[in-house]
Chains A and B, each alone.
Chain A
Amino acid sequence: MKSRQRTKRKPLDLALAAVTYIAAGLTVAILLLLIGYVVIQGVPNLKLSMFSPRYTSENVSAFPAIVTTVELTLLSLIIAVPLGVCTAIYLTEYARRGNRVVGLIRITAETLSGIPSIVYGLFGMLFFVTALGWGFSLIAGALTLAIMILPLIMRTTEEALLSVPDSYREGSFGLGAGRLRTVFRIVLPAAVPGILSGVILAIGRIVGETAALIYTAGTAAEMPTLTGSARTLAVHMYTLSSEGLHTGEAYATAVILLVLVVGINALAAFSAKKLTRA
């Protein structure tokens, strides 16, 4: 950008440049304020008692919530990743172009990705909790979130599969390998970094989710069981802050969540870097 002339700067140019810098500065300032505030308020409130294995109304331990978060994340991924990956495989490797079903699948995936989490929550409550009679349970929450992250996994996997060069496929077919073997032995392994970055994004969504969980997995603070109600860290933070009795602990939980998000983003960036290098 050597072309930035210093001469002849007209007032309009200056004004436009100024608002641009102000806006960018504002965005960064908001982020710094948000993170700074949460960290400053939260870190002093991080107490060892928050991590005691049993929740009592005195220690308001976040430990069961951490375990729930991990379990719920794993469960949702176990359900959604195979479904999403197989759908993407169908779309990129099997379906013929101009196939009507492909159009339908794409439209529904786009619809799914636009649905707000509270609507997912409502659906999960109506279907898993009430219609199937599972009650507030970890599994109802996991299935709800699995549907929620499905389009994300699908889209990132599809992009990753499309970026695998066709010469790999030709090479494999040329050796007499069938489509299935070509997909699973050649194409999918080459697409793993891209799929992984999608999975990491999905983890981020699960960890931060609240609205879709309150009426599916419920808000019980105890250690999770598959068929019992349990709260994730984000839901834990919601109940703490809405009760208004444990502001300090809520701040501390926010810090834990922030740390998780930073970690997840770093992982995503790392896997994206690997992707571009390959």
Chain B
Amino acid sequence: MIKFDIQNLKLYYGDYQALKGIDLAIEEREITAFIGPSGCGKSTLLKSLNRMNDLVEGCRVVGKVLLDGEDIYGALDVTELRRRVGMVFQKPNPFPMSVYDNIAFGPRTHGITQKHKLDEIVETTLKNAAIWDELKDRLKKSAIALSGGQQQRLCIARALAVQPEVLLMDEPTSALDPISTGKIEELILDLKRRYSIVIVTHNMQQATRISDKTAFFLLGEVVEFDETENLFSAPRDKRTEDYITGRFG
């Protein structure tokens, strides 16, 4: 099943063209990794999948992105889109409020107000994010006081709380130490059973460890897109080979 069908997507920041006609199909319940040097457009594409680029002034999109066959730049309401397509950011960004309120923010946004329902959502999402045991006694404490790794898992839990179908992750471990990174990778692999995941990463080992498919980006284009194993063991394009063997980037 194809979750996201990206068709000839072009994206401009003012006069600058950041994406030059991307065609990509992202499968359901798989982990798709975007790799490539800085400024290659991988984060830009990720952000255009839940229209976070709308916030950038002068940003213009041409082409189609279909989510389950529906154009997300068409009639689909952006609020609903972002509920279905959650996002985790490069730096953990918990809100300056309690752990509980962080998780409950999304559900409350989408109209859930009953206390017992919220309690239930908070518990199940924290369990899903494998952080319940660490946080169950600190639900009313500020999320800012948590460690970086805990904050990032909280942010993943926060994204899960609105029951999304897709999870977009923009270099989610780049600000974390190896141990926290390991925990998050474990979590991502576990989440694959229920969600489609797209992850941008600078770390090629990370891509090989967790992703099913990998797309290599260069200068706003997808150079190569394949099963992760194939892409790293037998790249078809010279540029991909140069990049993964560390000749540039």
Contacts and interface: CB of A to CB of B under 8 A. Distances in A.
- Whether the complex brings A and B within 8 Å at their CB atoms is answered yes
Contacts of A174: 50, 52, 82, 86-87, 89, 159
Contacts of B94: 171
B79 interface: yes
Contact of A168 (B79, B82, B87, B95): B95
Interface residues of A, number: 21
A190 interface: yes
A189 B96 CA distance: 9
Interface stretch (B31-39, B103-111, B204-212): B103-111
Name the residue in A97, A171, A190 with the highest tally of chain B Cβ atoms < 10 Å from its Cβ: A171
Given A96-B57, A170-B52, A174-B89, A186 B82 contact: no
A176 B158 CA distance: 12
Contacts of A169: 55
A244 interface: no
Given A171-B95, A176-B79, A176-B80, A181 B109 contact: yes
A278 B144 CA distance: 10
- The secondary structure that dominates the A interface is helix
A37 interface: no
Contacts of B89: 167, 170-171, 174
A167 to B, nearest CB: 4
Interface string B54-84: 0101000000000000000000001111110
B52 A175 contact: no
Interface string B85-117: 011010101111100000001100110000000
Contact of B52 (A96, A97, A173, A186): A173
Contact of B162 (A96, A176, A181, A190): A176
B105 A185 contact: yes
A172 B52 contact: no
B96 A172 contact: no
Interface size class of B (residues with CB under 8 A): 20 to 34
A273 B97 CA distance: 19
Contacts of B81: 176
A32 interface: no
Interface string A171-205: 11111111001000110011000000000000000
Given A181-B109, A185-B105, A167 B93 contact: yes
A178 B54 CA distance: 12
A175 B55 CA distance: 14
B66 to A, nearest CB: 19
A165 B94 CA distance: 11
Nearest to A174: B87
Contacts of B86: 174-175
Contacts of B95: 168, 171-172, 186, 190
Given A175-B159, A175-B162, A170 B82 contact: no
Nearest to A170: B89
A96 B58 CA distance: 10
